[in-house]
Homo-oligomer: A and B are copies of this chain.
Amino acid sequence: MSSEINPPANDQTSAPDEAFLHECLYFTTNRLSRAISRIADDAFATTGLAPAYGYLIRLVIGKPGITQKELSEKLYITPSTLTRFIDKLEGKRLVERQVQGKTVLVYPTDKAFELEQPIRQASKKLKETYEAILGKEAAALLTASVENAGVQLE
């Protein structure tokens, strides 16, 4: 048992070195992602939808007949994931597919329009919740940095 590389003196009582976790963007981002997802789930509970579906529906309402390709690009999820999402929303009669050659156009149903306001409400509540904790200013800054990093790393 050689000890060539001796990490900072580790007296049994203190925690071992965990800096490598907190200095790692992969780790901290996933942690934040889980935390904010919990908050988002709560905020969207009233809509009966997971937050991701709420955003999808907003896009479909914003552009009825939008293709799945466009949706997957805007949401930054893969086409296969999008297929499953649309399957689910179709099952709930919230959207309809219209096959057009090799592409699929997605349309909102009346039921989707009924959900529009509740979804907006939930989005607002979500934002208010994290702004209350982080501060409005800080939240905006963080969101911009995270957005920017996402763009660059993609």
Contact = CB atoms under 8 A, between A and B. Distances in A.
A20 to B, nearest CB: 7
B153 A130 contact: yes
Interface string A35-58: 111011000000000011001001
Interface in A124-151: 126-127, 130, 133-134, 139-143, 145-147, 149-150
- Give the number of times this chain occurs in the complex, counting copies: 2
Interface residues of A, number: 56
A45 to B, nearest CB: 14
B24 A123 contact: yes
Contacts of A133: 152-153
A33 interface: yes
A111 interface: no
